[in-house]
Chain A
Amino acid sequence: MKIAITSTGQDLSAEMDPRFGRAAYILVVDTDTLNFDVIDNAANKDAFKGAGIQAAAAVSDKGAQVLLTGFCGPNAFKTLEAAGVKVVNDVSGTVQDAVDRFKTGAYDYSSAPNADGHW
């Protein structure tokens, strides 16, 4: 299955980016093969509003079924939920760590956003 992970860099050794909508990159990793796609989130990073909505749509378009991130706001969460992408909040460490821990079943899916929206 494919999982999306917010990242400060473009490979699996990079530290995760705690932000979702305004993450530097989002890596969409195939948990079986460890092949991955890189979503360059630069345009969203400086978005005026709605960064999380755009990022959520992009993650869904790449076929990810799960998102691992630090903080996910209400609009991003609503979009991900509509797209059927499950969310795990409060994840940190490197992208590789997150993938490994996900595969051991260490994470519980979040039922709500864990950050406030921005106006």
Chain B
Amino acid sequence: MIISIASGKGGTGKTTVAANLAASLDQAVTVLDCDVEEPNLHLFLHPKIHTRENVVAPIPRVDMEKCTLCKRCMEICRFNAIAVAGKTVVTFPELCHSCGGCSAICPEGAVTEMERVLGIVETGTGPVPDMGFAQGLLDVGQVMVPPVIRKVKSHIDTQGITLIDAPPGTSCPVIAAMKDTDFVILVTEPTPFGLNDLKLAVETVRMMDIPHGLIINRAGMGDDAVYAYAKEQHLPVLLEIPFDRKIAEAYSRGDLIISRSNDLKEKFQTLYHDICRLVDAQRCAP
């Protein structure tokens, strides 16, 4: 069972949900922080990190002694990451999507590949020994996020439960995080901003054809437009987390919000069982 937690809008509570759902479950669980531009799940789970691995991607290297300036590499690159400039060829590693097209098409064998480091992936164990943990961290100055996310996702536990904390937004990084998951939890808040970005996220998840449901965080603030939208679109509201000072304080100290309320822990357990019912029952852990 692989559940991704996404939102559209940032700051709605994805990480809160991921950390607290993970800590509420009785079964073994693996939690992956795929918000590799600013991973923060570790602040709540305090995992012990055991391994650290570079994420690399190929970029072109041009041998000017073999190059005939034919421009085929330049023409095939849709990201303009390689260009024939006068009598030389310039490359732009930060624009390169590592498709390998330039080296494949070069008739002279002048374009070969070398590696560039995009970031790192760390793995470890969570606060309890049977909690697996992994997070990606994109290097400063890099913009190629999906390869780092894919590397984090190589640590999915296909036998047990995996929770994926996705980045905000609806662009490539979010798609990479949600892809091939069994269920998407969309965390929103009952505000106009929350609703606007929720609509975008719902469109994205529908396009990917993944079963999904809502968690409304800070319930009690804002207005009821999110509820009306959920009803109109037949989106199940799986959980409401109240807009409560105690919860905000726990969060701001890096504590789990379930530590302040047994009631919430039970709700997170119920959430998991509700999700299981919504997904193909066969795929769920017993």
Interface of A with B (CB < 8 Å)?
Answer: 47-51, 53-54, 56-57, 60, 75, 78-80, 82-85, 119
Docked Cα-Cα span, A51 to B81, in Å, equals: 11
Which of B80, B84, B95 has the largest number of chain A CB atoms within 10 A? B80
Some 23 contacts from A to B, beta carbons below 8 A apart, are A48-B78, A49-B80, A50-B79, A50-B80, A50-B81, A50-B92, A51-B80, A53-B83, A53-B90, A53-B95, A54-B80, A54-B83, A56-B85, A57-B84, A60-B86, A79-B83, A79-B85, A79-B90, A82-B90, A83-B86, A84-B87, A85-B86, A119-B143
Enumerate chain B interface residues (CB-CB to A < 8 A). Answer: 74, 78-81, 83-88, 90, 92, 95, 143
Q: How far is the CB of A65 from chain B (nearest CB, A)?
A: 10
Q: Which B residues are CB-close (under 8 A) to A54?
A: 80, 83
| Least distance between B249 CB and chain A CB atoms (Å) | 37
Task: Please give, as numbers and ranges, the residues of chain A lying within 8 Å of B90 by CB-CB distance.
Answer: 53, 78-79, 82
For chain A, what secondary structure do more than half of its interface residues adopt (helix, strand, loop), or is it mixed?
helix
Q: Which residues of A contact B79 (CB under 8 A)?
A: 48-50
Tell me, in angstroms, the Cα distance from A85 to B85 when the chains sit together: 9
Q: Are B85 and A60 in contact (CB under 8 A)?
A: yes
Determine whether the beta carbon of A53 is less than 8 Å from that of B86: no
A57 to B86, CA, bound (A): 7
Q: Which of B74, B81, B86, B95 contacts A82 (CB 8 A)?
A: B86
Query: How far apart are the CA atoms of A74 and B143 in the complex, in Å?
Result: 16
Min CB distance B173 to A, Å, is 13
Q: A75-B92, A75-B95 are in contact. List 20 more A-B contacts (CB 8 A).
A: A49-B95, A50-B79, A50-B81, A50-B95, A53-B95, A54-B80, A56-B83, A56-B85, A57-B85, A60-B85, A60-B86, A78-B90, A78-B92, A79-B85, A79-B90, A82-B85, A83-B86, A83-B88, A84-B87, A119-B143
Report B99 CB to chain A, min CB distance, Å. Answer: 14
The residues of A that contact B143 with a CB separation of less than 8 Å are: 119
A57 contacts B95, C-beta separation under 8 Å: no
Distance of A45 Cα from B22 Cα, bound (Å): 48
Enumerate chain A residues within 8 angstroms of B85, measured Cβ to Cβ.
56-57, 60, 79-80, 82-83
Within the complex, the shortest CB–CB distance from A28 to chain B, in Å, comes to 14
Of all chain A residues, which has the CB nearest B80?
A50
